[in-house]
Amino acid sequence: MSEETAFLQAIRANPDDDTTRLVYADWLDERDDVRGQVVRLHLALRSVAPDHVHRVAGEHELSLFRKGLSHEWLTVIEPERSHLYETPVRPVYCKCFPGLYDPQPKQKVPPVEFHIEPQDTECEPWKRLCDLVEEAAVDGREEFAPLRGVTSEERAQIVTLPQTIGKLTKVKHLLLYGSHLVRIPPEIGEMTNLEKFTPYTSYRLHWYPYEITRCKNLRDSTVSTRALYGNRNYHPPFPRLEPGMHAGRVEPTELPLKCTKPDTVRRCSVCDRPFKDQRQHRVWISLRVATDVLPLLVNACSDECIGRLPTPAKHYLQVTHRGDPDVRQPHTTQAGSRGDPWESDGE
Ligand SMILES: [Zn+2]
Ligand SMILES: [Zn+2]
Last residue of a domain, one of 224, 254, 284: 254
Cα 278 to middle of ligand 1, angstroms: 27
What's the pLDDT at 14? 95
172 & 202 share domain: yes
62 & 180 share domain: no
219 & 250 share domain: no
203 & 326 share domain: yes
* Phi, psi for residue 91 in degrees, rounded to 5: -65, 145
This prediction's pTM: 0.88
Cα 308 to middle of ligand 2, angstroms: 9
Report the 10 Å Cβ neighbour count for 27: 15
Task: Give how many domains the chain has, as a whole number.
Answer: 2
Last residue of a domain, one of 226, 254, 282: 254
User: What ligand has the least distance to the C-alpha of 92?
Assistant: 1
Residue 116 lies in a domain: no
136 & 210 share domain: yes
What's the pLDDT at 75? 95
User: What ligand has the least distance to the C-alpha of 112?
Assistant: 1
* DSSP label of 245: B
Q: What is the mean pLDDT of residues 287-313?
A: 95
296 and 286 in contact (C-beta within 8 Å)?
yes
Report the 10 Å Cβ neighbour count for 242: 17
What's the pLDDT at 346? 34
Strand, helix or coil at 101?
coil
Segment 177-229, tens digit of pLDDT: 989 999 999 999 999 999 999 999 999 999 999 999 999 999 999 998 889 99
Q: Which of 254-258, 286-290, 323-327, 341-345 has the highest mean pLDDT?
A: 286-290
Q: What is the mean pLDDT of residues 336-346?
A: 34
Segment 151-178, tens digit of pLDDT: 999 999 999 999 999 999 999 999 999 8
192 & 222 share domain: yes
What's the pLDDT at 262? 53
240 and 247 in contact (C-beta within 8 Å)?
yes
Residue 164 lies in a domain: yes
Residue 99 lies in a domain: no
Residue 98 lies in a domain: no
Cα 236 to middle of ligand 1, angstroms: 11
Residue 76 has pLDDT above 90, yes or no: yes
For residue 189, give the nearest of 205, 168, 219, 158 by alpha carbon: 168
Residues with CB under 5 A from ligand 1 (ion): 94, 96, 204
List 298's β-bridge partners, or say none.
283
250 & 235 share domain: no
CA distances to 230, 284, 288 from 309, rounded to whole Å, are 18, 11, 13
User: Three-class SS string for 110-164?
Assistant: CCCCCCCCCCCCCCHHHHHHHHHHHHHHHHCCCEECCCCCCCHHHHCCCCCCCHH
Cα 84 to middle of ligand 2, angstroms: 39
Cα 271 to middle of ligand 2, angstroms: 4
Cα 95 to middle of ligand 2, angstroms: 34
CA distances to 242, 269, 311 from 318, rounded to whole Å, are 21, 19, 7
List 284's β-bridge partners, or say none.
297, 321
235 & 319 share domain: yes
Name the band, by pLDDT with cuts 50, 70 and 90, for residue 311.
Answer: very high
Classify strands 274-276 and 265-267 as parallel, antiparallel or unpaired.
antiparallel
User: What ligand has the least distance to the C-alpha of 301?
Assistant: 2
Residue 121 has pLDDT above 90, yes or no: yes
What's the pLDDT at 143? 98
Domain span holding position 223? 124-240+262-335
209 & 250 share domain: no
Segment 219-274, tens digit of pLDDT: 999 998 889 998 877 777 888 887 645 444 544 445 565 545 555 678 999 999 99
232 & 250 share domain: no
Cα 6 to middle of ligand 1, angstroms: 31
Cα 278 to middle of ligand 2, angstroms: 13
62 & 140 share domain: no
Cα 100 to middle of ligand 1, angstroms: 13
220 & 250 share domain: no
CA distances to 265, 270, 318, 324 from 47, rounded to whole Å, are 18, 25, 29, 17
The rounded distance, in Å, linking the Cα atoms of 188 and 167 is 9
Last residue of a domain, one of 202, 230, 254: 254
